[in-house]
Amino acid sequence: MRQSSRSKVAPFIVMDVMEQARVLENSGKNIVHMEVGQPSSPALSHARSKVVSAISSETLGYTVALGLPELRRKISLLYGKWYNIDLDPRRVIITSGSSAAFILSFISLFEAGDKVGVTEPGYPSYQQILKSLSINPVGLQTSKNTQHIPKLEGNNLNGVIIASPANPTGSILSKGSLTSLVNECVDREISFISDEIYHGLHYDLPCTSALEISDNVYVINSFSKYFAMTGWRIGWMVVPDSHVRLIERLAQNLFICAPHISQVAALGALKSISEAETLKGIYKVNRDLLLNALPKLGLELEAEPDGGFYLYLNVSSKTNDSLALAQDILVNAGVAVTPGIDFDSKRGNTTLRLSFARGTDEISEGIDRLTRYFSEL
């Protein structure tokens, strides 16, 4: 049977690593998971209790395409608490994870053949989703020397997507840097999409929402990271008022609605901010343990991990094939890590990403295993 050219996207390598780790675990091998950006804790307590109650008392059928009105209102209140923004709940749209929000954003803003800037290193699915929609991703190379701030000029872009805190680097754009990027896009009529799914997970620097700068942007967020709800597949997007009906029509036809039960869980999660902050404290402990261990590992940072829960490491002193190195670490050290080529096809052959979203005991064990591995390399 014929295959479309749009379907020929690259694999999301971290998911392949997860599968390889699963196979090894099924064979009896103990694996420390430092590959995937997934908290090891379950959904927050209020989220779980609200779900238990809803299952026994509600039908949990379709919701309206834009999401439960109460959830949209509660998310708008979160913007008041976090950013001192008076956000109209009407502009908040509930989605099936941030992935659905990316699809809705790309379809609503871009024509086939348009050019959209994506940072390198960066979240790999941006590029693959764009390609599957016949939209052309344009790599914007960033580096530690430039604080991972992309340059937009000279690329004739129709749009750009920026994440802060970023995956895989953990870098955070200052309010001044983000303001300059947003204003440049507004002036040049470049659609600006702000990926803010790691907001809340900041350590030494604050996070700035693009909505603090302009209403003429798309903002995407998710309950996956800060609220520890990856598998629930529930996120949201904020769009200009004039785009709400546009997104609603697309969402009705593409997704009908986000899962009702996950929306119920999200309502509970918003009542568990103190619990989420406790988890963030664990991530900070884990981050500091890893940072202190880097000299023993003989590795250097590619970016300061000011947010999120990743370290992006330069392994050029060990290899020029990060995929082979990651596979060898998995098999021989029992630690799952992600090769940098997942995030940067040009320079990622000499980088690795480590996630520190697990429990501290597991991260400590991972450090011990990696220390032994690299000492024998």
291-325 residue pLDDT tens: 999 999 999 999 999 999 999 999 999 999 999 99
Q: Nearest to residue 254, comparing CAs of 100, 58, 23, 151?
A: 100
Would you call 10 helix, strand, or coil by DSSP?
coil
Claim to verify: residue 241 and residue 283 sit in the same structural domain: no
pLDDT at 153: 87
- Determine the distance from the C-alpha atom of residue 160 to the mean position of all C-alpha atoms in its chain, rounded to a whole number: 16
Count of the separate structural domains present in the chain? 2
Coil, strand or helix at 231: helix
Provide the residue range defining the domain that includes 25. Answer: 5-43+274-376
**What digits encode the pLDDT tens for the residues 249-294?**
999 999 999 999 999 999 999 999 999 999 999 999 999 999 999 9
**Percent of the chain predicted with pLDDT > 90:** 95
Answer yes or no: do 27 and 143 share one domain.
no
Give the whole-angstrom CA distance, residue 328 versus residue 363: 19
> Does the pLDDT value for residue 154 go beyond 90?
no
Q: Which pLDDT tens digit goes with each residue over 180-236?
A: 999 999 999 999 999 999 999 999 899 999 999 999 999 999 999 999 999 999 999
Provide the residue type at 326 as one letter: A
Task: Check: pTM over 0.85? Answer yes or no.
Answer: yes
What is the rounded average pLDDT for all residues in the chain? 96
| The domain boundary residue, chosen from 216, 240, 271 | 271
Single-letter amino acid code for the residue at 270? L
As a whole number of angstroms, the distance between CA 144 and CA 301 comes to 9
Q: pLDDT tens, 324-339? A: 999 999 999 999 999 9
Q: Within this chain, do residues 59 and 201 fall inside the same structural domain, yes or no?
A: yes
Residues 6+ away with beta carbon under 8 Å from 375 = none
- The pLDDT score that the predictor gives to residue 3 is 92
Strands 92-95 and 235-238 turn out to be: antiparallel
* Alpha carbon distance 25, 232 (integer Å): 24
Do 262 and 292 reside in the same domain of the chain? no
Residue at which a domain ends, from 271, 302, 320: 271
Cβ contact 146:166 at 8 Å: no
**Look-up of token digits 């991530």:** 283
Q: Residue 106's domain is classified under what CATH number?
A: 3.40.640.10
pLDDT tens across 66-90, in order?
A: 999 999 999 999 999 999 999 999 9
Q: Taking 90 as the threshold, does the pLDDT of residue 377 lie above it?
A: no
Both 293 and 347 in a single domain?
A: yes
For residues 258 and 154, state if they share a domain: yes
User: From CA 219, how far away is CA 239, in angstroms rounded?
Assistant: 7
β-strands 310-314, 335-336 pairing: unpaired
Pairing between β-strand 218-222 and β-strand 235-238 as defined by DSSP bridges: antiparallel
Residue 146 scores a pLDDT above 90? no
Q: Are residues 286 and 239 in the same domain?
A: no
For 155-183, the pLDDT digits (tens) are 899 999 999 999 999 999 999 999 999 99
Residues 6+ positions from 228 with CB-CB distance below 8 Å: 39, 41, 42, 43, 44, 276, 279
Task: Give yes or no: residues 121 and 149 share one domain.
Answer: yes
Last residue of a domain, one of 253, 271, 289: 271
Pair 88, 228 in one domain: yes
Do 147 and 249 fall into the same domain? yes
**Whether residue 367 sits in one domain with residue 347:** yes
Q: Do residues 155 and 122 share a domain? A: yes
pLDDT (0 to 100) of residue 147: 87
